Structure 1
């Protein structure tokens, strides 16, 4: 079972392309095969663009088959965001919007891409403007209430973040830091926040850094007036405030003006036997500033400078979608995009996966699983896929059991690659310059921390 700690906002995927038979693979042979295949229909391309968390690698592989110029612009913009190239994404979206009148649905996709690009780049003023345009486009397109609520939530968060000073890199001389696994298997290290030592979870799945209210007060963070709500793994909305740290020092990194989501202490206490809580999380804006980092099974975080990779985007196995990182993986030989989440103790597959691959799950018994996260827990009907093989590149591990949410659920959760997979190797590393997740040699099965489950049969 997965303890996904916090999601500052949900992936804003707008549907799933059922039955789309495109490879998730990259590289020259795949691109050549795509180029020789017939062009894609507009509806198929729009569906891929609207569901980046499911389709980002498929969309990249399909680029040569998109022969509609306006949709090709949007596809290239979505891939630019995925590669953390906000400048190129913004230029492509501007070119699209400057063209002949677009449908409300296409405008909504364009403004969603612009919002994601600005958020990933830390330009919250631009993100707020884009998110407001997204709201208008969604209303004009007749989008459902949940999608409009997500856009409103995003706009409100961006407006509040835009009122804060911009995060600024002061110095970076990389040096290693000790890391340990906590009782549910999440990686923790100590950062210095405004002159005080603070243990924090290192969470690649958190769009912003997080602290509990009592921790924010103890550290002396500047608490902002007003509040907002954000999506979480365990319920639709969790009330938050924003706090600002003057200085964060971690692994040789010195940052000024670091924003934190501030949650009530109770929202970061998880219903784990014996008690469990999180006081602080270092999320994407801080981890990205490290450029490249490796976490070893021996208990070290090893940061280093990164250099941009080759121009061929097909070599990258890590892409951003909806401000979350997704890795190209295979589960049971099936290509799948999985949300890279070091803040999840265990991996899981989504209801969308269950719909597409019902044959793989046939005959498996279902159960009610309780997934704990910020704000409480949610019950989902799942099956356990025993002995599931998970592969990333040339590395593979076998999980004793992999939770798969059944298609009668909400379907809001993505596929997740958690610590049970990452911890199966001697080390794992993220390189933001080359957009790659790398895994070291497989480690011995002994010594893994136990993962506590509240799943009920």
Structure 2
């Protein structure tokens, strides 16, 4: 729908509009803040004030964030074809990185690899060390997957399966592959589905070619494998790619815990919609349902939700695996006076016996969140007094299980991009 509205807007303004630097600057700020929700609205509102080139640029990121990857691919191709002289190398590198993500999420592994090679060969000078390392790591993966067919999902009818939490409170679901059924961790935050080496052998997964002796591979890499067919209830998922890790990398002997397998984001998003009930049932409908919430976006593979507070509507990271909701330093900066009036400054300890870290935080006695017509009051919510080291906090907090447990049902929809609660 957004893509159609954008094209109509561009057709209504065929001649170059008044290009407002102020309007474009405001959109760049929203993009930098990962506020894709306000950015989406701002593009529609400001389309007469920004050039078609700027409109295509911002729309490419919005389309990507809301799982409209084909539209994002088209917009990036249009930018690179029609405006090559007005795009500097830094902008082109950013577009190519986004394009690689579009191809990866649509399982076009060969095109992802081709884009990655172009990024490294021609634009490495404008990449920082982290971006260069990520692109170098990706090279081996896309080359290994180049001949693997795209993942396919078939849901012949609505299906329900049981779920339970393991000893570390992670959600586990039954998965069938290779004629066997086992429990896998169900994790939207996992970039790729993962298994241990012994479990991959037990399941009979198709192992892909191991790296050559002189080949540079990521430090975390072991091997890739493919499940030609995998069943979650009645839902059939074909050509599922797994990262295979040594058993000891998925074992935690100190707590007598080991991970056999993880179902990650690519499979979960392919199901389009999941409904998680607190009574221990997970349902996958045959067709996903539309909603006017539109409150879910993706920053790479990190889910972001837009929830209303008593003061405004803000973006939060969404991690169903976290036990508690935390508010980041960005929230303190935005509402410092209010927090200093209502919250208590205290010191908390974190870490293990060998390394205990003391951190000052504010404890907010009550914090209200609104989703649709639902309101939840969370108690004793931590507000960080400084940014978490090594992170670039753009959102205002992380929503955890203390919020989710207030509802009997949670729906995650990756087709129409919303999360709802009942």
TM-score of the superposed pair, with normalisation by structure 1: 0.73
Pairing partner for 1:130 from 109, 115, 118: 115
Between the aligned partners of 1:428 and 1:171, the Cα distance in structure 2 is: 20
Q: Structure 1: 5+ residue runs without aligned partners?
A: 1-37, 230-236, 372-376, 441-457
Between the aligned partners of 1:335 and 1:117, the Cα distance in structure 2 is: 28
Pairing partner for 1:322 from 292, 295, 300: 300
Whose relative contact order is higher, 1 or 2, with alpha carbons under 8 Å and at least 6 apart?
A: 1
Between the aligned partners of 2:70 and 2:141, the Cα distance in structure 1 is: 22
1:96: Cα distance to partner? Answer: 0.8
Cα 1:348/1:122, change in 2 over 3 Å: farther
Q: Structure 2: 5+ residue runs without aligned partners?
A: 1-19
Between the aligned partners of 2:235 and 2:358, the Cα distance in structure 1 is: 40
- Tell me what 1:202 maps to: 186
User: 1:390 and 2:369 equivalent?
Assistant: yes
Contact 2:200–2:244 (CA under 8 A) maintained in structure 1: yes
Cα 1:183/1:91, change in 2 over 3 Å: same
Q: Describe the superposition over 1:39-67 as per-residue Cα deviations: whole angstroms up to 9, x where unpaired.
A: 7454443354355xx32223113212251
TM-score of the superposed pair, with normalisation by structure 2: 0.79
Cα 1:170/1:145, change in 2 over 3 Å: same
Q: Describe the superposition over 1:157-188 as per-residue Cα deviations: whole angstroms up to 9, x where unpaired.
A: 33333343332335533211011122333221
Between the aligned partners of 1:127 and 1:256, the Cα distance in structure 2 is: 20
Between the aligned partners of 1:359 and 1:183, the Cα distance in structure 2 is: 41
Cα root mean square deviation, aligned: 3.2
Between the aligned partners of 2:66 and 2:273, the Cα distance in structure 1 is: 15
Cα 1:388/1:91, change in 2 over 3 Å: same
Between the aligned partners of 1:59 and 1:155, the Cα distance in structure 2 is: 32
Cα 1:156/1:172, change in 2 over 3 Å: farther
User: 1:139 and 2:118 equivalent?
Assistant: no
Cα 1:168/1:332, change in 2 over 3 Å: same
1:70: Cα distance to partner? Answer: 1.5
Contact 1:348–1:403 (CA under 8 A) maintained in structure 2: yes
Higher helix share goes to which structure?
Answer: 2
Between the aligned partners of 2:289 and 2:123, the Cα distance in structure 1 is: 36
User: 1:60 and 2:40 equivalent?
Assistant: yes
Cα 1:74/1:155, change in 2 over 3 Å: farther
- Tell me what 2:266 maps to: 285
1:429: Cα distance to partner? Answer: 0.7
Q: Describe the superposition over 1:93-139 as per-residue Cα deviations: whole angstroms up to 9, x where unpaired.
A: 11111133202222122212212211221222222222333445763
Between the aligned partners of 1:364 and 1:270, the Cα distance in structure 2 is: 35
